[in-house]
Amino acid sequence: MRAATEAWFARRTWARPPWTAAGLAAAKAGRTVSVVLPALDEEATVGGVVAAVRPLLSTLVDEIVVVDSGSTDATVARAEAAGARVVARDAVLPGVPVPAQIPIRQGKGEVLWRSLAATSGDLVVFLDSDLVDLGPDFVVNLLGPLLTVEGVALVKGFYHRPLRLPASGTADQDAVLTGGGRVTELTARPALASLRPELAGVVQPLGGEYAATRELLESLPFAAGYGVEIGLLLDTHRTRGLDAIAQVDLGVRKHRHRSLRALGATAAEVLDAVVRRCVPGHPGADPLTQFVPVDGDWLPDEQAVATTDRPPLATLRATGS
């Protein structure tokens, strides 16, 4: 790493977070906190994530909101039963999605962008809905730098990411222990090293567990699809500088893992968000062509890549939309 990045790492990384929920509740000083879970067909896990955060409600956390993207399973019922307020993605910003202007899109970036209009906290914590075995310390530690360190506006979580394999499965032991985060290691980290090396010290640039000030989030565009996390990281660095970013160790992150084919589309959206922010004039990615074997032949199959941003929410508020 560059010397400046090494200095930032030492200054803005907490490998052993020292905060407690009670201590941070006292440090809120009138500020409010929203915890947001984007969800799509997460009936098996969303209730557990909400339940892990619920003990903090009314002390450190002021609201827990699940923004549902049109689940067809029991996600909504289980989130509500666990104690969250559930908001449908399509019901947020009812005056904005004019068909010719801002139609509703699929993808994670859309849900997180709209969640800002569905919540009110001065600080916003994002947690993925497919996590398992997490505790309230995830939220406590993500909020620590925001509530106690001057100038921090975005806090990224980092963690150990083991692969979760079926009990009958066999795999190389190293892959089981460290095989999570394939898009991070094969796409995001090399892209940052080439195009924004100042961010080489960010351990989990794509992690879905992070917290930020509302003021920052509403001032930034949100990349579509799975490019949203790295887009926010890059734009925070560009507009606020490296010291506005911090990171904390959250221990172990366990969630479901997707096929290599599915991760290819994710990687394409991540890379698109990077190059559009780091390569002036880049037009965005074409559809991703993958090849599938059918009756002994390899046939091309195209997947759409989300390549556009939602505008900063503050600009919509300013125009009265």
In the prediction, which pLDDT does 163 show? Answer: 55
Parallel, antiparallel, or unpaired for β 63-68 and 85-88? parallel
d(CA 240, CA 270): 21
In the prediction, which pLDDT does 257 show? Answer: 66
**Mean pLDDT score of the chain, rounded to an integer?**
89
In the prediction, which pLDDT does 179 show? Answer: 45
Greatest distance between any 2 Cα atoms in the chain: 65
- Coil, strand or helix: which one is 296? coil
State the average pLDDT over residues 219-232.
Answer: 95
pLDDT in tens, 17-76: 999 999 999 999 999 999 999 999 999 999 999 999 999 999 999 999 999 999 999 999
Kindly give the residue spans of alpha helices, DSSP state H, lying in 162-259: 173-178, 182-183, 189-195, 214-219, 228-240
For residue 221, give the nearest of 208, 238, 209 by alpha carbon.
238
Q: What is the pTM of this model?
A: 0.90
Sheet-wide strand order for 63-68 = 13-14, 245-252, 154-160, 210-213, 123-126, 33-39, 63-68, 85-88
Q: Which CATH topology does 3-319 take?
A: Spore Coat Polysaccharide Biosynthesis Protein SpsA; Chain A (3.90.550)
> In 29-75, where do the E strands start and end?
33-39, 63-68
For residue 133, give the nearest of 55, 194, 51 by alpha carbon.
51
- Please spell the DSSP secondary structure of 170-190, one letter per residue: ---HHHHHH---HHIIIIIHH
d(CA 154, CA 271): 21
Q: How many residues does the chain have?
A: 321
d(CA 78, CA 42): 9
In the prediction, which pLDDT does 91 show? Answer: 86
d(CA 76, CA 69): 10
- For residue 288, what are the β-bridge partners? 303
* Cβ contact 292:277 at 8 Å: no
State the average pLDDT over residues 212-233.
Answer: 96
* Cβ contact 155:246 at 8 Å: yes
Kindly give the residue spans of alpha helices, DSSP state H, lying in 55-185: 75-82, 108-118, 137-148, 173-178, 182-183
In the prediction, which pLDDT does 81 show? Answer: 98
Kindly give the residue spans of alpha helices, DSSP state H, lying in 107-259: 108-118, 137-148, 173-178, 182-183, 189-195, 214-219, 228-240
Least reliable range by pLDDT among 136-150, 188-202, 255-269, 289-303: 255-269
Q: How confident is the model at residue 166 (pLDDT cuts 50, 70, 90)?
A: low
